[in-house]
Amino acid sequence: MVARYSQAILFLFPVLCYSPELLATSAPFDSQANSCSNQRQASQDDLNLKRKLDTQQTYPKESNNKRITKISLKQLNVFDTSLPEENNFLFRFANRAHITTEPDVILSTLLFSQGSQYNIKDLEESERLLRQQNYLYDARIYAEENCHDEVHVTVVTRDLWTLLPDISFSRSGGENTSRIGFRESNLLGYGKRLSFTATEDKDRNGYLFVYDDPAILSSRYRGRIEYADNSDGERHYLGAYLPFYSIKTKYSYGFYNYANKRVESIYSRNEVISEFIQDSEIRDLYYGFAVQAPKQWINRFSVGLHQEIHSFAPTVYSNLPIADDRDTSYPYIKGQWLQSDYIKVRNFDSIYRTEDLNLGWNIQAKLGYSSKNWADDDSHLIYQFSASRALFTTENSLWRFSSNIQGEWNTEQNQARNFVSAVNIQYYLNTSIQQSWFANLSLTYAKGLTADNQLVLGGETGLRGYPLNYQQGSRSALINIEKRYYWEYDLLQLFKVGGALFFDMGKVTGKTQIETDNSLLKNVGFGLRFAPSRANAGTVLHLDVAAPINREDNIDSIQWLFTVKNRF
Q: How many independent structural domains does the chain possess?
A: 2
The total of other beta-carbon atoms located within 10 Å of residue 524's CB is 17
Each residue's pLDDT tens digit, 48-71: 788 888 766 679 988 888 999 999
Task: Give the residue, 163 or 75, on which the prediction is more confident.
Answer: 75
Res 20 pLDDT > 60: no
Asked if 145 and 276 sit in the same domain, the reply is no
Does any domain span residue 307?
A: yes
pLDDT of residue 232: 78
Partners of 559 in the β-ladder: 546
CATH of the domain at 259: 2.40.160
How distant, in Å, are the alpha carbons of 141, 236, 469 from that of 521?
A: 49, 38, 13
Return the DSSP state at 135: T
Asked if 400 and 520 sit in the same domain, the reply is yes
Each residue's pLDDT tens digit, 526-544: 999 999 999 877 789 899 9
Does any domain span residue 211?
A: no
Does any domain span residue 208?
A: no
Asked if 153 and 247 sit in the same domain, the reply is no
Does any domain span residue 212?
A: no
The sign one gets for the Cα dihedral 557, 560, 561, 567 is positive
Q: What's the chain's average pLDDT? A: 87
203 — pLDDT class (breaks 50, 70, 90): low
Does any domain span residue 556?
A: yes
Q: Show the domain range for 535.
A: 243-565
**How far is Cα 336 from Cα 299, in angstroms, rounded to an integer?**
6
Asked if 144 and 253 sit in the same domain, the reply is no
**How far is Cα 516 from Cα 477, in angstroms, rounded to an integer?**
17
CATH of the domain at 68: 3.10.20.310
**How far is Cα 287 from Cα 282, in angstroms, rounded to an integer?**
17
Res 396 pLDDT > 50: yes
Each residue's pLDDT tens digit, 148-179: 889 999 999 999 998 887 666 655 445 566 77
User: Does residue 103 have a cis peptide bond before it, meaning omega lies within 30 degrees of 0?
Assistant: no
Final residue of a domain: which of 115, 132, 159? 159
pTM of the model: 0.86
Final residue of a domain: which of 159, 189, 208? 159
| Pair 235, 262: CB distance under 8 Å | yes
**How far is Cα 25 from Cα 11, in angstroms, rounded to an integer?**
13
| Pair 25, 53: CB distance under 8 Å | yes
Asked if 302 and 154 sit in the same domain, the reply is no
**How far is Cα 482 from Cα 440, in angstroms, rounded to an integer?**
9
pLDDT of residue 477: 97
Asked if 121 and 254 sit in the same domain, the reply is no
508, 512, 516, 522: CA torsion to nearest 10? -10
Return the DSSP state at 41: B
265 — pLDDT class (breaks 50, 70, 90): confident
Task: Give the residue, 239 or 471, on which the prediction is more confident.
Answer: 239
Most confident of 64-68, 201-205, 298-302, 509-513: 298-302
Asked if 254 and 141 sit in the same domain, the reply is no
Does any domain span residue 510?
A: yes
Does any domain span residue 216?
A: no
Asked if 252 and 150 sit in the same domain, the reply is no
Asked if 470 and 348 sit in the same domain, the reply is yes
The contacts found for 234-243 with CB under 8 angstroms, 24 or more apart, are: 234/259, 234/260, 234/261, 235/259, 235/260, 235/261, 235/262, 236/260, 240/216
Does any domain span residue 484?
A: yes
Task: Give the residue, 213 or 550, on which the prediction is more confident.
Answer: 213
Q: What percent of the chain lies above the pLDDT cut of 70? A: 89
pLDDT of residue 202: 67
434 — pLDDT class (breaks 50, 70, 90): very high
Each residue's pLDDT tens digit, 364-391: 999 999 999 998 899 999 999 999 999 9
Task: Give the residue, 405 or 45, on which the prediction is more confident.
Answer: 405
Asked if 459 and 310 sit in the same domain, the reply is yes
| Pair 164, 179: CB distance under 8 Å | no
Res 8 pLDDT > 80: no
Task: State the average pLDDT over residues 388-414.
Answer: 95
pLDDT of residue 167: 66
295, 343, 482, 22: CA torsion to nearest 10? 170
Task: State the average pLDDT over residues 321-340.
Answer: 95
pLDDT of residue 44: 42
198 — pLDDT class (breaks 50, 70, 90): confident
Final residue of a domain: which of 159, 178, 195? 159
Asked if 110 and 247 sit in the same domain, the reply is no
pLDDT of residue 47: 57
| Pair 272, 454: CB distance under 8 Å | no
Asked if 290 and 152 sit in the same domain, the reply is no
Res 6 pLDDT > 50: no
